Chains A and B, each alone.
Chain A
């Protein structure tokens, strides 16, 4: 039997955040809204007691089918700073291991009364499937090669913090675009804000088709770097070698790694970014990650405030946060 999907009873400004397109129809305006709220939550995070009662009584569950301590902690910290209750559904010790279906897992969690589900899954599309079955808000914390929208939002925020508006900026994304959810979300967000995006990768690490992607493609990183405002490096995974996508990590680093020499070709104001975790010595030289224009730690810090903004947009009582006092 097919079970019908439940109706939603929520009235937030945003229904779910499954991908950057959910911030539309005017994506730029949607991102601007998140940025504006993030500004105020950055201020909260800097207080002595960084906690506000905005989401008191709300419950946020993290449902991570794939390990990611960093992203899970960032979401849980964001929820706690908004005074939401948090639950962690640990897949490795749960009924999922005993063969429970994805849909049954979701219905079980929903029966406990939750307001938002933060999902990480190795398979593309799982957050969208869950949103179809669930009445609570669904936030995609990374699905396979597909999207990682809060990463893109925190990257937009970090760039704006250092360089101002993204419009007209030249952003170069280097590395394994094909297998990267970060790249897909970032390309959607950066270009919606008017940035000019170039992807640099060996053809084996590009998606099979770039039809409809508003990006330029280059294979010569050295030629692109001087005109770049943001050099965004993706994590290079070792298993790509065994899939015959690259001959060796050494050759990858020689052609596509941000070495000391290459980093010197960047303009003085240009930012170096990475979604983490880094493979120092592979896609980024160890010392390059320590340069003053490498803003990798800022990305992580801004992640908490951006996720507070997203949770507030999904679960808050309106689009305005009144700047309530400490809880």
Chain B
């Protein structure tokens, strides 16, 4: 049967232009045909459209994750572009930006092309790629930014490491600002001489548990430096996964001065604290580490007042055998794609900190702008726009079960946690990648 278009029925449409109850009609070519109340298929020329029920649901632009580890190439036992894309679609995402800390590193056109091709082959999510700022993320020599930009790369980062050398970072910002297309340099903020040997936030819990700590200042010093470099070079800096109250305040002050700085925060940094590490379960080991209650409150405040522009998952799959190691031997990272929306709703919307529209801004159109894909993703829901959409029930309760996730790994820190907000349908170019909560590919 050839699809003759689709109609999403009876949802609450929320996009950057506001909120209204409306049906959304999608043409067979994946473009939105009409948005309105009680749309008549025949009048729109849709002979026998597939009807997607959205009663009680929100219909929004597909979510955009600007911080995803897909592990391919090199760590396919933990995740592949395909399994990660499926996890993304189930989480409501229609676009993800794959981080370059793969093996080999995404620091050349060859590896960029390999990951982009794998994304197209999977065809479940729009997989974009972040290139490394420096060759092999070693912080020594600039990677070929222009060559990668020609393939569509719009974001560069050495994520997993910050660029330690002040001068090299300055040069990277200056050089990138002269590329023919606007690009964003994103920084994992961590001064390694201060964090080296640490495995959790340095403070009350690290002292009690006898685990070497990473002070908040290791992050804040690089946030401070990069703000200074943004001022020096005039180039835009995006600060990844802010985790401390001090970092949030530095970004707030930089924005007040009009400096070209954006920032993201992860669901785990607005949900969990370092007290979780008392179990010594490496599923709670992540970089930057889980911080204090005051830091969690500051990250939430930053999301509320606009200091932080995006919620990014830092989805970081790891196999069980690597996570069943001593805490100080285990790798950093936790899953995020399939739980981010529910945590945003449960932790930020339900307590009244954000409206659903504000949450969606942080998870869709604002990150799309940072990643340079705002022409395609996070668009208004209107005739003529591409139908990259998510339909979710913001009140549906569910319990996180690590074995039920689509990711190839199961290192979620939320096992057994009851959350609210579940994706019903995710549409990429008008085609359901998730229908009634089930992956279609």
Q: Which A positions have Cβ atoms within 8 angstroms of B?
A: 1-3, 101-103, 121, 123-126, 128-129, 132, 143-147, 181, 184, 207-213
Contacts and interface: CB of A to CB of B under 8 A. Distances in A.
A1 B320 contact: yes
A101 B324 contact: yes
Main secondary structure of the interface of A (DSSP, over half): loop
B204 A211 contact: yes
A2 B410 contact: yes
B326 A121 contact: yes
B246 to A, nearest CB: 16
A147 to B, nearest CB: 7
A176 to B, nearest CB: 12
Interface stretch (B58-66, B207-215, B226-234, B236-244): B207-215
Nearest to B415: A2
A42 B202 CA distance: 42
B294 interface: no
Contact of B203 (A184, A208, A213): A208
A2 B210 contact: no
A128 B279 contact: yes
A266 B281 CA distance: 44
Interface residues of B, number: 26
A143 B210 CA distance: 9
Interface in B174-218: 202-204, 206-213, 215
Given A1-B320, A2-B410, A128-B279, A209 B207 contact: yes
Contact of A208 (B206, B280, B321, B410): B206
B412 to A, nearest CB: 10
A125 B410 contact: no
Contacts, number: 78
A125 B326 contact: yes
A144 B328 CA distance: 10
B138 interface: no
A126 B327 CA distance: 8
B396 interface: no
11 contacts: A2-B402, A102-B324, A123-B326, A125-B209, A125-B326, A143-B210, A144-B328, A145-B211, A145-B212, A208-B207, A213-B208
Interface string B325-363: 111110000000000000000000000000000000000
A66 to B, nearest CB: 11
A123 B209 CA distance: 11
Given A102-B326, A121-B326, A209-B203, A184 B210 contact: yes
A205 to B, nearest CB: 12
A53 B402 CA distance: 46
Contact of A125 (B202, B203, B280, B324): B280
B209 A212 contact: no
A263 to B, nearest CB: 30
A129 B209 CA distance: 13
